[in-house]
Amino acid sequence: MSSSDDVGVEMTWKSEVWFALGECCFYLISIIWALLVRLILILHTYVSLWKVVTQTNDEQYWYLLGLVLIQLGELIYRVAVCKGNEGMWVCPCFFFYLLSTVPSIWILELDRLEQYDQISQNVTASGVALSSVQGISIPIKLSADVWVSVIEQSLLFLLILCRWILPRGEITRDQLSQLLFVYIGMASDIMELFVLFDEQTVRNDKVLVYIILVVWSISLLQFCLVLTATRNPKKARVATVHPTESSAPTKGKKKKDILIMCLTTEVWSLLVTFLMQDGPFLCVRLYALIRYTLITYNILFFTCKNLLVVMLLTYRLIVLCCQNDEKEKDDDEEIIIGQQEKKDAIEAADYDNDKPTNGNFVSVMNVN
The string of DSSP letters for 160-180 reads HHHHHHS--TTS-HHHHHHHH
Say whether pLDDT at 358 is over 70. no
Q: Is residue 239 part of a domain?
A: no
Q: Is residue 118 part of a domain?
A: yes
Number of other CB atoms surrounding residue 304 within 10 Å: 12
Q: Is residue 137 part of a domain?
A: yes
Give the residue from 65, 69, 73, 70 showing the smallest Cα distance to 48. 65
Give the residue from 40, 21, 73, 44 showing the smallest Cα distance to 151. 44
Q: Is residue 361 part of a domain?
A: no
3-state SS assignment for residue 81: coil
**In whole angstroms, what is the distance from residue 316 CA to residue 311 CA?**
9
Confidence of residue 157 (pLDDT cuts 50, 70, 90): very high
**In whole angstroms, what is the distance from residue 173 CA to residue 91 CA?**
16
Rg over CA atoms, the chain = 32
Domain count, the chain: 1
* 164: containing domain: 7-170
Q: Is residue 336 part of a domain?
A: no
Q: Is residue 121 part of a domain?
A: yes
Q: Is residue 185 part of a domain?
A: no
Q: Which of 27-41, 88-102, 103-117, 226-240 has the lowest mean pLDDT?
A: 226-240
Q: Is residue 311 part of a domain?
A: no
Task: Provide the pLDDT for residue 328.
Answer: 54
Task: Provide the pLDDT for residue 3.
Answer: 57
User: H or E element: which one contains 201?
Assistant: helix 200-204
Say whether pLDDT at 130 is over 60. no
